[in-house]
Structure 1
Amino acid sequence: MIQPIPGGGGSAPSGPVTLPPGLPSLEELERLDPAELDELLGLKPKYDMPPGARRSMEQVGLLDASEGGMPVGSVGRQPVSLVRASLNGLKTPMISRWGHILVRRALVSRLETPAGMAPAEFAGLRAKALNSMGEFEAARGIAQDIDVGNWNKTLADAAVNSFIATGDITGACPAVRFRGALRDDAQWRMLGSICNAFAGESASARSALIRMRNQNTAPAIDVLLAQRYAGAAGRGRSAVNLEWQGVEELNPWRYGLALALGAEIPGELTDDLGTYYQRVAARNPALSVVDRMGPAERAAREGIFSSRALIDLYGQFYAENGNEGTWGPLAAQLRNAYIATDPGERLAAIKAVWGNETPDYARLVLTAYAAARLPASQELAEDAGPLIASMLAAGLDKDALEWGEVVPEGSQGWAQLVLAQPSRSTPVGSGDVDAFIDDDTSSGQRKSAFLVAGLAGLGRLENGAVNSYSQSLGLELGRQTRWSRMVSRAGELRNQPLVSFLVGVGMQGEGWDRMTPRHLFYIVRALNNAGLASEARMIAAEAVARG
C-alpha cells in the first residue's frame, strides 16, 4: 500500500516560483569550475585546519626565549605606531653583518603582538622585513606560524614573496585556495591555477592559464612558467616550451619558477645578477655548487650565512671539483689553512684566501675558524689586525682576545680588542687612542671616528676624552635626533626587540661609508644598555675593521 506524502495533499504547487536575486543562469552555472561553484553557494571553507587544530595568535614567532629568542612580552605594551614605523623602516639590508644577525634574531623571536595591532599585521610586517634582508626561509616560517584563515593582505604578500624566493611555490596553495579574496592580480591567479592543478583540477587549470596568455593578462614568459609548473601535476598530455626570446629582464617570479623547474635561463639574463637574485641563489639547492659560490660570499658578508655554512660550501665544491675552475685554488688554500702542520704555512694559506691587503669581508668570515687555530705569537703579530677581524666576524672573541698580549697598543688589532673585550676595569687611555688616530690612513679617518664612537658607546672613555675627541674629529656625538632619542629610550628600558628594530633602521645601507660615527655611538650605547652587550661589542669592532 502506497502512503501519501505528508502535507502534500497530492496537489501541484500553484503560483510563480521566485528565485533569489543575482542567481546565475543555467548556462553560467555550467561554466563555473567546482571551486567557483563552492564559493557561490557559500560552501568554500575559510580554514585549512579543523577548529581543534587551529593555533593561537597570542604569541607569534619561531624562536622562543628558552632557545635564544628575545623576551616574549617586550613589545606588547609599546605604542603601535612606533612598532609599525620601525618595522616599516627595515627596507634594505644592514650595513653591518652583526647588525643583520641581531635584527634577524629579533624578527624571528616569539613575541606578543602590541596591544591594538592585529597579530596578522605584526607577523606580516616582520616577514616583509625578513624578505628585504634576504632571509626568505625565516619569512616563510613566520607566515606559516599563523593559520591562513587569519592572514591579511600584508602577510599574504610577504608569504608569497618568500614562497617564490625559496622555490616552495605550492606553499602558497592554502592561502590561494582558502583565502582567494585576499588578492586579485595576475600573479595570484597564476598561483591559483597551479594550486588547482596540484589539487587534481588539471584541465581547468590549463584552460585558465591559456586564457590568461591569450588575453595578455600577464607577460607570456610568466604564464608559460606557470603552465610548465602546473603541468608537473597533470598527466603530461602537452609540453610547454619556454620562449625567452624578447625577455629583457628577470623578475622574482621568473627566477623563482625557473629554478624550481630546473629550467635554463638565458645567460644574458644571469650574467650580472642583482643583489636580490644573489641572495636567492645562495641557498637554492636547485643550483650547482659552482653557481652558488659567488652568491654565498655575499650572503656571508651580509650575515645571512654563518662562517660554518660558507666553509661547508667550499668543502662541497672541493669534494666535487678539486682545484678546477675559479674557486678551486681558493678551496685548496682554505683546506691548507687547516691541514698544514706549520703555523706559518697555515697563515700563508689564509692570506692567499684573502687575496690582497684589504680582503673582502666575506673572505674574513670564511677564514675565521682557521685564524682561531693559529697561535698568538710575535712571529705572526704583523698580521694580527686582519686575523682578529676574521675571528670576530664569526664571534670568536675568546680566541681573538688571546692576541691581547701580542698586538701593540694603538694598532688595528688593539683597537678591535679593546672594543671586543667583555668588560674592562679601567677606561682606555687617551695616549693609545691618539696613537691609533695618528697612524690611521682610512678615508676621512673613519676608523678612528668609529673607534671613539664605539668606546664612548660602551662607556670605555672618560667623559672629558669623549668631548675632546668629538670636537677634534668633528663627530657631534652629543647631537640628538628623533631616531636617537627613540633608540636611546628603548635601550634604557631594556626593550631588546624594539631597540633591535630601531638599530636596524639606523643601519640601512650598502656600505660603511653610509654609517656616521654619531649613529654608531647611539647604536652601541643603546644595545649595551638594553642587555645586548655582546652584539654592541661585535658591531663596534666590525665598524673599525670595515670602516
Structure 2
Amino acid sequence: MDPDEFNELFGLKPEYDIPPGARRAVSRVGVIDSREGGFPSQALAGQPAALVRAALAGTRQPLVSRWGHILLRRVLASRLDAPAGMMPVEFAALRAALLNRMGEGAVARALVQDVDSANFDAALAGSALDAYLLTGDVLGICPVAQLKGDLRSDGTWQMARAICAAYAGSTRVAERDLTRTLQSGAAPRIDVLLAQRYAGAAGEGRRNVTIEWDGVEELSPWRFALARALGAEIPPALRSGAAPQYDFAEVLNPAAPLPARAAAGDRAGGRGVLSSAAMVDLYSQLWADPTVAEGDRARAGTLREAYVAQDPAARLAAMRSLWGEGDAYGGQVLTAYAAARLTPNESYAADAPQLIAAMLAAGLDRNALRWGPLVPEGSLGWAMLTVAQPTRSGPVGGGAIDRFIGDDGSAGQRKSRFLVAGLAGLGRLDQGDIASASGDLGINLARENAWSRKIGRAAELGNPALVALLAGVGMQGEGWDKMTALHLFHIVRALDRVGLGAEARMIAAEAVARG
C-alpha cells in the first residue's frame, strides 16, 4: 500500500497543502489588476451568469483578429470577481479553458496558479492540466493531483497522478499504476508509453521504454508535452497536421527545438500570441546559437538585415523577403519596428501599404501616420490610416470612399466593406455616405440580431469587459473571409463607445489590411 492509499484509508489525508495564513480567497482570481492594464475587478460582477458562461463557453474557434485576440486575452487574465450566480472556481475554469483554446497556455497556467489546490474542482483541474501540458510543465499539476486525486478518474488523470508519485519518490507505485492503466485500456498505448518513460526518468526506472508512433493518428496535449519533454521526435506527418494550438504551444515551450519554435513564430505572432518584440527576441536567439544549422538561421539573418542594414533600400528589400515567406501577416508583425525605423520617402511609396500594415500590427499608429502625405486619397494606405488615426476633425469624404471602392480588387470587395463598417463604427462617415456606400456594396449595417443587441446593450451600460467578451464571440473564424461587415461595425462601435477606442481603431485597420 502506498502512502497516499494508507492516508486515505485511515482518514489522515490533509485537506490543505498550505498553512492557514497563506491561503487565498477565490474571489478576484486573475493575473493582472486594473493598475497593470487589466479590467476593473467588478466589471462582470453584476452581469448574469448565463450570459458570461455562454460567451466564455461559446468562443470555441480562433479569433480572426490579432487585436481582438489581444483584447480578449487581457479580459480573461484580469483579476475579476465572478458574475452574479456563478461560483468563482467555475469562472476561473471557464476562463482558463478559453485561454487554452486560444493557444494562451502560459496565461492559463498563471491564472489557475492563482487558485489554491484545495479549492480545485474537476473542471478547473482539467483546464489546469491542459495549461501545464501546453506549456511543457508536466509536473505542474502535481500539487492538485496529490491533494485531490479523486477529482477525476479518466486515464489521463491516472497517468498524471502516477508521474507525480514517481517524482515524489514512489517510483514502484508509479510503475504499478501505469501498468494497470495500460492493461485496463484506460488510456491509449502511446500515452502510457510516454508516461512510463517520463516516470522512469525520476531516477529508479527499471526498464527501457521504446516509443512507437505506429497507428497514432492525432496529436494531443499529453503526447505533445511528454514527447517534447523527453526529446522524442514527433512524426512530421503527425506534427504538420496538428491544430494551430500546437504551433502556439511549440513557440512557448522551452523544451522544443529552437528552429521548430521559430518556424511556429510567424503564426503565433499573426494570431496575437507573440508580440513583435517577442518574435524578434526568438529570432535573435536563433541567430546567436552556433549549433543551429545555417539553413535554419537564414530567416534570422534576413530579419537582422531588415533592422540593421546601413542602406534603407537594403532594409526594405529584406522586409519584402520576410513578407513573402510563411504567414504574410506574421511577417508584417515581425518587421513592425523595422518598418517604423524607415524614414518616409517617395522612393518607397509603392511599399507604403505593407509598411503601414506592419506598423499598425504592433500598434505603432504615430509612426504609420508619418506616411500619410505619401499615400493618395482613396488608396489602401490611406484607408488604413483613416481608420487608425486617433482623432479626426471631420468626417471622411464620400468621394474618397467611392475611389477606394472603385479600385478595390479584394474578394467580394471585402476591404471596402470593412472600411465602410470601420469608419461607420467610429463615427467618421455621414449617414448619407454610409447609405450610399452600403448600397453600392450590398451591405446593411442597420440590421440587428441577438448578438448585436447584447453587445450594443453592454456598450450602452458602459461595460468594457462584457463588450470585449462579446466581441470575441463575434470574431470567431479561421480567416477574415469569415467576418462580416455587420459584425465588424457592431464590434468597432461598441468598443469605441466604452472607451476602448484604440482597440477599435486597430481592429478596423487590421480588417482593411487583411480583408
8 Å Cα contact 2:269-2:276 kept in structure 1: yes
Report the Cα offset of residue 328 of structure 1. 3.6
Q: Return closer, same or farther for 1:277/1:472 CA change in 2, 3 Å cut-off.
A: same
Match of 1:332 among 274, 298, 301: 301
2:135 aligned with 1:166: yes
Counterpart in the other structure of 1:19 = none
Q: Aligned-pair RMSD on alpha carbons?
A: 1.7
Q: Return closer, same or farther for 1:330/1:243 CA change in 2, 3 Å cut-off.
A: closer
Match of 1:187 among 144, 150, 156: 156
Q: Return closer, same or farther for 1:82/1:249 CA change in 2, 3 Å cut-off.
A: closer
Match of 2:381 among 404, 413, 431: 413
Q: Return closer, same or farther for 1:467/1:75 CA change in 2, 3 Å cut-off.
A: same
What is the alpha-carbon distance in structure 2 between the residues aligned to residue 348 and residue 457 of structure 1?
Answer: 36
Report the Cα offset of residue 332 of structure 1. 2.1
Match of 1:431 among 379, 382, 399: 399
Q: TM-score, normalised by structure 1?
A: 0.91
What is the alpha-carbon distance in structure 2 between the residues aligned to residue 444 and residue 243 of structure 1?
Answer: 48
8 Å Cα contact 1:385-1:413 kept in structure 2: yes
SS for the counterpart of 2:191 is helix
8 Å Cα contact 1:202-1:233 kept in structure 2: yes
What is the alpha-carbon distance in structure 1 between the residues aligned to residue 292 and residue 197 of structure 2?
Answer: 37
What is the alpha-carbon distance in structure 2 between the residues aligned to residue 161 and residue 533 of structure 1?
Answer: 34
What is the alpha-carbon distance in structure 2 between the residues aligned to residue 43 and residue 192 of structure 1?
Answer: 19
Counterpart in the other structure of 2:256 = 287
Match of 1:227 among 184, 196, 203: 196
8 Å Cα contact 1:71-1:496 kept in structure 2: no
Aligned-partner residue type, residue 64 of structure 2: I
What is the alpha-carbon distance in structure 1 between the residues aligned to residue 135 and residue 302 of structure 2?
Answer: 32
Counterpart in the other structure of 2:495 = 527
What is the alpha-carbon distance in structure 2 between the residues aligned to residue 267 and residue 463 of structure 1?
Answer: 54
Counterpart in the other structure of 2:65 = 96
Counterpart in the other structure of 1:380 = 348
SS for the counterpart of 1:59 is coil
What is the alpha-carbon distance in structure 2 between the residues aligned to residue 508 and residue 196 of structure 1?
Answer: 41
Report the Cα offset of residue 239 of structure 1. 2.6
What is the alpha-carbon distance in structure 1 between the residues aligned to residue 370 and residue 144 of structure 2?
Answer: 53
Post-superposition Cα deviations, 1:102-138, rounded to whole Å, max 9, x if no partner, equal 0000100111111221100000000000000000011
2:366 aligned with 1:398: yes
8 Å Cα contact 2:336-2:361 kept in structure 1: yes
What are the ranges of 5 or more consecutive residues in structure 1 without an aligned counterpart?
1-31
Counterpart in the other structure of 1:300 = 269
Larger CA deviation: 201-210 vs 412-421? 201-210
SS for the counterpart of 1:111 is coil
What is the alpha-carbon distance in structure 2 between the residues aligned to residue 368 and residue 348 of structure 1?
Answer: 14
What is the alpha-carbon distance in structure 1 between the residues aligned to residue 363 and residue 312 of structure 2?
Answer: 22
Counterpart in the other structure of 1:21 = none
Within 5 Å, give how 1:504-543 maps onto structure 2: 504-543=472-511
Q: Return closer, same or farther for 1:415/1:322 CA change in 2, 3 Å cut-off.
A: farther
Q: Return closer, same or farther for 1:262/1:342 CA change in 2, 3 Å cut-off.
A: same
Aligned-partner residue type, residue 17 of structure 2: D
Within 5 Å, give how 1:102-181 maps onto structure 2: 102-181=71-150
Counterpart in the other structure of 1:251 = 220
Report the Cα offset of residue 472 of structure 1. 2.2
Q: Return closer, same or farther for 1:351/1:327 CA change in 2, 3 Å cut-off.
A: farther
2:294 aligned with 1:347: no
Counterpart in the other structure of 1:29 = none
What is the alpha-carbon distance in structure 1 between the residues aligned to residue 58 and residue 217 of structure 2?
Answer: 31
Post-superposition Cα deviations, 1:419-441, rounded to whole Å, max 9, x if no partner, equal 01111110111111111111111
Q: Return closer, same or farther for 1:204/1:359 CA change in 2, 3 Å cut-off.
A: closer
Aligned-partner residue type, residue 485 of structure 1: R
Report the Cα offset of residue 276 of structure 1. 2.5
2:37 aligned with 1:68: yes
8 Å Cα contact 2:270-2:327 kept in structure 1: no
SS for the counterpart of 2:255 is coil
What is the alpha-carbon distance in structure 1 between the residues aligned to residue 441 and residue 290 of structure 2?
Answer: 51
Counterpart in the other structure of 2:52 = 83
What is the alpha-carbon distance in structure 1 between the residues aligned to residue 406 and residue 294 of structure 2?
Answer: 43
State which structure, 1 or 2, has the greater radius of gyration over its C-alpha atoms: 1
Q: Return closer, same or farther for 1:512/1:325 CA change in 2, 3 Å cut-off.
A: farther
Aligned-partner residue type, residue 444 of structure 1: G
Larger CA deviation: 39-48 vs 75-84? 39-48
8 Å Cα contact 2:218-2:242 kept in structure 1: no
Counterpart in the other structure of 1:196 = 165
Report the Cα offset of residue 514 of structure 1. 0.1
8 Å Cα contact 1:283-1:296 kept in structure 2: no
Report the Cα offset of residue 181 of structure 1. 2.0
Report the Cα offset of residue 359 of structure 1. 7.2
SS for the counterpart of 1:112 is coil
2:340 aligned with 1:369: no
